[in-house]
Each structure stands twice: as C-alpha cells, then as structure tokens.
Amino acid sequence: MDPALLVDELVQRFGPKRESLLRILWGVQRAFGYIPREALEALSAKLSIPLSELIGVASFFHAFKLSKPAPINIVLCMGTACHVRGNSENLRLLKAMNLESRGIGIETARCFGCCSRAPVIAIVEGSGRILKLFGGVTPSKLRLVVSEATKLVGGSRG
Amino acid sequence: MDSLLARCCPSCSHSPSNPCRNFVRCRTEGPLCHSSPSCSAARKRRIEEIVSGSRPRVKVAVASCTIAAGALEVLKAVREVSKELGLEVVKVGCSGLCFLDPWIELSAPGMPPAIFGNVDPSDVEKIIRDYLDGDVSKAYAIRYRTGRARDEDRVPTLDERPEWRLQVRYVSRNCGVVDPESLEHYIALGGYRGLERAFELGPEGVIEEIRRAGLRGRGGAGFPTWLKWKLCRERESDEKFVVANADEGDPGAYMNRLLAESDPFRIIEGLTIAGYAVGASKGYIFVRAEKRLMAERLERAVEEARKWGLLGKNILGTGFSFDIEVVLSGGAFVCGEETALLAAIEGRIPRPRQRPPYPVERGLWGKPTVINNVETLAHVATILAEGWESFAKYGTEKSRGTKMFCVTGSVRRTGAYEVPLGTSIRTLVEVIAGGSDSRIKAVQVGGPSGGCIPYELLDLPLDYESLQSVGAIMGSGGIVVIDESRCMVDVARFFTSFVVAESCGKCVPCRVGTRILQQILDRVVSGEATPEDLEVLEELGEAIKACSLCGLGMTAPNPVLSTLKHFRREYEAHVYERRCPSKTCVRLVRFEIDRSRCIGCGSCQRVCPASAVERRGSTYFIDSSKCIRCGACEVSCPVGAVVRV
Ligand SMILES: Cc1cc2nc3c(=O)[nH]c(=O)nc-3n(C[C@H](O)[C@H](O)[C@H](O)COP(=O)(O)O)c2cc1C
Ligand code: FES
C-alpha cells in the first residue's frame, strides 16, 4: 500500500488534528512495521506540522521505527529482572556472533512482562509479531535461540 | 436470565437512553423498579452462577504474563476437553502468582475449587478428568475445603500458603477471579457500587471520603490524592480533565498492567469517580506502548461501560456526563512524568516542563487536569464502595492502605503481591516471595528512580518515608532481588545507562550529568577509575538531583548514590584492586580452562574470534594477553570448563 494513501485514510478516521498524531503513527507502524519517510511527509502536509517536528515526535518514542527492520530479529529483554539474571551477558555474546550478516537483527526491549521467566529472549518478525519466546535463557540455551532464528530466516526467504 | 445487565422483564424500564439512578443495585439486589419475586430470584441465581458456577468450570488465566508462558496453548487444550466433557470455560486475568504461569482453576458443584500451576497443554486432559473424578492431589492449592475430594487434606488451601495468607487483596481482589472482559462479572462481584455511592455523597463528599481514607498516590511520590482533587475542583474553568497514568515505565514492574488486564472496570470506575469529584467531562487513560493487551482490555471495557450507560451523557440519570479515551503511548520512560504525559496526549514531543504551574492549574490544553496512577484510581473505586475505614485500617499512620508490589529477580516465587504498607521488605521478599536459592545481597526498590537496599536493612517497613530515608523511593512498587553473583557497580551502571537513554535532553544536569556518571561507571567496571572518580560520582550525583528540571533527573542518581552508600567496598575493590568481587565485570576477570573438566573437544578454540585459545596436549589454554574477554568460549563449552578467575 502507498504510505500516503494510508495516511489519508488514518487522518480521515482519527481527525485532522494534532492530538490524533499518536494514533496515526501507530496505524502506519502497524501497517508497515516501521514509519516510512513518505508517510511522515504526507502527514506533514495533511496536518500542517513541519516535517522536522514530526520526525522529532516519531524518533522520540521507542516503539516507532524510522527504518525497515530485519525480517527476523532476536529481541532481548533489557528489563531489570532480565538484566540481573544475565541478559546483558547474552547480548554481549550475541553481538559477538555477527548475526547481522545472516540477516538476523538484534534488538532490545524493556520488559516483556513475564519477569518470572527471566532472562527472556524473543524472536520477532519484521512486523513486530512475536514468533517465539524463550525463558530462562542461559548462555548454553542461547545456541538454541540462534539456531531457531537461523531456521526462521531460511523459512522467510524460501 | 442471560445477563444481569439486561432487563429482567418488560416492567423494567431502564436503558442507557432512559437511565435510572439505582441501576447497579437494581441489577444485583433488585429489581427495585418493580416488585417481582421471580425476577429477583432469577437475579440471585445469575449472581450465584457467576460466583460459584452451576456446572463444572475451568478458569484459564489469560494475561500477558501467562500468555508468554504458554496460556493460549493451554486455553486451546482446555477448550477441546471442555467441549467433550461439557465444562464451562472462563478466561480470567492473572492472580499475581506469576511463578505458577500458566495456571488454571477447576471447580465443580461440591468440590473444592483447585488451582493447578505450570500446566502443560498435554496434561490438561488428565488434570481435568482426575479432578472430575474427585482427585485434587496435584493441585498447587485449593480455595477452601469441602471434604469431598480424595486426599484433600494433603493439598494446602490458598490461605495455608504464606504467599497468599500474608497478602491483603484489597484492590486486586478480582484479579484472576473475574472475566476481565465482562462488565456483568464486575457488577456481580460488587463493581460500580463505588460510583453509585459517589453520586450519593456528592463531589465534596467524595473528596472527604478519600481524605479520611488517607489514600496517597501509588505512582510515585505519594502525594495525597484528595488534596490534588480539591485543588483541581477549586479552579474555575469551562473544562477540566482527568488522566489515568498507565505508562508504567519501570522496566520490571508490572502491577499496573496486571491490574488493568485483570480488572479493567475498576480503573474505569475510579477514573469516572475522579472526573465526578473534580468536575471533569473527559478522561484519558495513557497506556505504555509495549502493553498492547492492557490497552485492548481497557478499550473494550470503556466500550462496554459506554454501552450500558456507565460512561457517556447523563450517567445513571444524574446529569453527570463523562467519557474516556484510551491513548497508546509510543513508549518513552519520561512519558510517565505528568507534564510529559500531557504533551504526548496533545501530540507534541513529550518533554517535561517546569512546574509550577502544576497540571491541576494548567494541564491538558491549559485546563485544570488531575493525573493519577491507575492503582490509585482502582483504590478510589474500592474505597468508595467499601467505605474509607476498610482502607484506613491497613497500613501505617502516614502510609495507609495496601499496595501492590512486583517481586522479581533472584527469588523463588516471582509475583505481584498486595500487602499493607508498613510490611517489612523481609516479609515480602523472604516469606511471601520465598527468598532466593542463592544468597541475597540487596534489593532494588523503585526502578531507575529508586535505590539499592542492602540485605542488613531488609527489616525496613515498606512505606513512603522509610524508603526515602535509605535513598530509595516507593515508585510504582517494583522490587528486584539481587543475589551475591551480581556486581552492585554493574547494577548502578545498568540503571544509569537506562536514564541516559531516556533523558529527554531538555536540561543540562540530566542530559550531560547522567552521561558523565555513566562514563565514570564505565571506567570503574573496566578497572580504569581513580579514587577521585568516586568522589566525583557523589558530588555530581547530588548536583544532578538538585538542579534537574523534572523527576527523572532529580532521581536519576539514586541507584548510584545508594550503592555508593551501602556497597562502597565493591566500588573500592574495582578502583584500588582492579577486581570485581562477584566476577561480573568481564574486563576485570580472566578466563581460564579448568583442565580437570576439559574434555578436549576444541569448541572454545573454534569460536574464539581473537585466536587466544591454544591447544596444549589433550587440553586447551587461554592466552590472556590475546584474550578480548568476549566470553564466547564460556558459552561454547559443553561441560562448563571455562571459568572466570
Ligand atoms: C520519570 C518519571 C516517570 C514516571 N513514571 C510514572 C509511571 O510510569 N506511572 C505513574 O503512575 N507515575 C509515574 N510517574 C509519576 C507521575 O509523574 C505522577 O506523579 C503520578 O502519575 C501521579 O499519580 P499518583 O498521585 O496517583 O501517584 C513518573 C514520574 C517521573 C518523574
Ligand atoms: S524484565 Fe524481562 S520480562 Fe520483565
């Protein structure tokens, strides 16, 4: 779908006012998995808000991505419970594995809300959908996560 | 009768367009508008059905936490078995006993309702069949005894379990009990009595009731709720707003989410009462970005309340009109700060601004606005329904009532527990949450704005003032238990990087100051810091607290200052001895291969990116001058022979 058309539709649905901004941005993010620049440009014209300011708002929030995410991402919870149970180590180890070259993105999140299973790692699709969630990830279980992600990358390409 | 909310017979004239004042009482104790023994018997029966069930029933906890543990698969299995056996399936929220996730509760006429934890979908059928057969032996607990199940005495009741007995489930009473998507359930269990009573008391009466209860804000600083409302009520304005803060930014606290996912109507009722008390016509619920299900359930609850005339024009025929909009945040910790939150709702960049003027003077679009935490609002609804004494009898002189706390980290029973304020941290952590398998070193209270409290001070009561006296804060009530294996400098550095990433950048002390704190901490964990650095940490920390614009900066140094105060020796070991006592900081440890354990598989050598691993006969050796301390060998070793020294 054309980002500008979607923006038209969202503006119509939520009203051409500034207070609809968060809802509209969510609409775009959900449709594309990120917020394409063309969408912001269209929105700027529609709401008469300078593009710079829209980028300011969109980039201030963590949930909005301004570039297209990898098709498969390993997302580590960096909440407190997951940190004290070892996810920072896991992150360091994953970063050393050079997974980007295999088409796997590495991202962090702040608390998946299941701290009882800390440390938690999820495999997340480009659209933001969680495909798999792993709890109690010890460094040795980390290999399982990586091989699962590698399999999924293969799947999403094939 | 299909639903309590519907008309019982044509004589009932109530409808949202023809509202009646006694709607709630009429539906639960009534009918009041006409007298009919058969209608009132039907209502009683329906309530009984909701409370105890008329046939065998399975409750499945479906909330973010249980879903992450596999609740949807369990639900699917439960549905299949139930169809075959004719059981009723009810989706409920979460009780806060997170260590049981995913869990289900079974009940049948005459049998003790039994809770089964850590359920695997493949076991569902057997659990249900055994239960219907009179066997509860595998249950985690039963709610009460009936003497009808086999070997019932061997299973404890909930109240015999410390994690339940020591709780006071005041605001969380419905969590894990009712269907969060059903207004009927909520009303059958006493919901919306608070709003009805509020209308009887009038706005001033409501404020007085909350004053007597002694309710203080559950979202941060503990400001008296009645006073905030009074200040807003007294302002002249053509329009006012109330806002529920459901931003819950502390990474590792989830009691707000749990409450909103498990009992959303209580929050909506509380916000409606707040609107009535201050004279607002519109309310907003601002929900944190990641908490999708929470937003969905709140939104659904708003629609449902609107459908039955509990939101909208002329609520219950009182002339009071009020509506609620749920706003999903884009996710930024600073959005929890009230002035930033208002900016976000208005569609602006959520940067806090100078206060005063406070939101009660100039809030949304410049109009007087009250902002309250969602737990505060849920308490409001409960207090109004039950009377101020029911709340004020718990807690301490200055910190009244109960509060929900999330206990996570190195504990046996991670969960969200509601206890009277003034309960000691020790009771919460060691008795309710079951202590830790390893030795507890400290607890961190209050998230990124809070502080670390050493094990020796665990008898400290959980109230606003006591926590402040040791450099922590209540915050929203997140408690993270840290064991001996963690380095306290590393914990401080974790929270500091968090606030560096979350600082909005508007004021210099916070933007630049926290970054310098982080740089110093980076030096400490790498063994490159000097003794002066520790002094700078302290001085700078105090300066940031004193000079920052908003609460984020004013509390950002707390994790550093509290660890410096209570765990100075650990800092000193890093600085003077270039040693990390808990062997967490990789720059200060050496990796070695324990020859007695090594099986000579060579995987460490293969993964080492720095070619630091050499073969020596049948085993391997790490050349520490080449080692870059990435730890890849540690992970790759199948027998745990790579050790830190
Ligand atoms: C950086 C920062 C983050 C905050 N985050 C939250 C939050 O997530 N939830 C919340 O209720 N209050 C949060 N607060 C406190 C709010 O600003 C406000 O005081 C509170 O919502 C008032 O509600 P209460 O009086 O019911 O506690 C935060 C404050 C600061 C400075
Ligand atoms: S801290 Fe990781 S799930 Fe909560």
Q: Give the model confidence (pLDDT) of B399-452 as tens digits.
A: 999 999 999 999 999 999 999 999 999 999 999 999 999 999 999 999 999 999
Residue range B261-289: mean pLDDT, rounded: 97
Closest chain B C-alpha to A152 CA, distance in angstroms:
19
Which pLDDT score is estimated for B172? 98
Topology given in CATH for the domain delimited by A72-156: Glutaredoxin (3.40.30)
Residues 6+ apart with CB under 8 A from A63: A26, A29, B289, B290, B329, B330, B331
- Which of A84, A97, A123, A131 to probe the B interface (max B CBs under 10 A)? A84
Closest chain B C-alpha to A155 CA, distance in angstroms:
23
Which pLDDT tens digit goes with each residue over B322-336?
A: 999 999 999 999 999
Which pLDDT tens digit goes with each residue over B453-474?
A: 999 999 999 999 999 999 889 9
Chain B stretch 277-316, residues whose beta carbon is closer than 8 A to a beta carbon of chain A: 289-291
Residue range B45-64: mean pLDDT, rounded: 93
pLDDT at A127 > cutoff 60:
yes
Sketch the domain layout of chain A as residue ranges: 3-60, 72-156
Whether residue A139 and residue B635 make contact (CB cut-off 8 A), yes or no, is: yes
CA distance A39 to B212: 52
Which pLDDT score is estimated for A157? 55
pLDDT at B567 > cutoff 60:
yes
Share of chain B above pLDDT 70, in %: 100
Q: B272 CA to middle of ligand 2, Å?
A: 32
B632–A contact, CB cutoff 8 A = yes
Tell me A78's DSSP state: -
- Residue B151's identity, in one-letter code, is D
**Taking CA atoms, what residue in B is nearest to A111?**
B251
Is the distance from the beta carbon of residue B252 to the nearest atom of ligand 2 less than 6 Å?
yes
Which pLDDT score is estimated for B32? 82
Whether residue B330 and residue A142 make contact (CB cut-off 8 A), yes or no, is: no
In this predicted model, which residue has the larger pLDDT, B635 or B502? B502
Is the distance from the beta carbon of residue B217 to the nearest atom of ligand 1 less than 6 Å?
yes
Kindly indicate the confidence band of residue B370, based on its pLDDT and cuts at 50, 70 and 90.
Answer: very high
Query: If you average pLDDT over each of A134-148, B29-43, B306-320, which comes out highest?
Result: B306-320
Is the distance from the beta carbon of residue B279 to the nearest atom of ligand 1 less than 6 Å?
no
All residues of chain B having their beta carbon less than 8 Å from the beta carbon of residue A140 are: 635, 638
**Taking CA atoms, what residue in B is nearest to A142?**
B635
Q: B428 CA to middle of ligand 2, Å?
A: 20
Tell me A140's DSSP state: H
Q: A86 CA to middle of ligand 2, Å?
A: 11
Cβ-based neighbour number of residue B84 at 10 Å: 10
Q: Which domains does chain B have, with CATH numbers?
A: 1-51 (no CATH), 52-160 (3.40.30.10), 183-392 (3.40.50.11540), 402-483 (3.10.20.600), 488-576 (1.20.1440.230), 590-644 (3.30.70.20)
Whether residue B494 and residue A80 make contact (CB cut-off 8 A), yes or no, is: yes
Closest chain A C-alpha to B605 CA, distance in angstroms:
15
All residues of chain A having their beta carbon less than 8 Å from the beta carbon of residue B644 are: none
- Residue A146's identity, in one-letter code, is V
Torsion of CA A143, A148, A151, A156, to 10 degrees: -130
Ligand nearest to the CA of A84: 2
pLDDT at B608 > cutoff 90:
no
The residue whose two tokens read 């060691």 is B430
Which pLDDT score is estimated for A158? 43
Is the distance from the beta carbon of residue B340 to the nearest atom of ligand 1 less than 6 Å?
no
All residues of chain B having their beta carbon less than 8 Å from the beta carbon of residue A112 are: 64, 68, 290
- For chain B, what is the mean pLDDT? 94
Q: In this structure, what token pair is assigned to residue B612?
A: 């630091």
Whether residue B347 and residue A84 make contact (CB cut-off 8 A), yes or no, is: no
Which pLDDT score is estimated for B609? 81
Is there a contact between B421 and B389 (Cβ–Cβ < 8 Å)?
Answer: no
- Residue B360's identity, in one-letter code, is V
Q: Which long-range contacts (CB under 8 A, 24 or more apart) does B552-555 make?
A: B552/B333, B552/B334, B552/B337, B552/B352, B552/B449, B552/B499, B552/B502, B552/B503, B552/B504, B552/B510, B553/B499, B553/B503, B553/B507, B553/B509, B553/B510, B553/B513, B553/B514, B555/B448, B555/B449, B555/B450, B555/B473
B158–A contact, CB cutoff 8 A = no
pLDDT at A155 > cutoff 80:
no
CA distance B282 to A46: 27
Residue range B14-19: mean pLDDT, rounded: 81
Is there a contact between A104 and A74 (Cβ–Cβ < 8 Å)?
Answer: yes
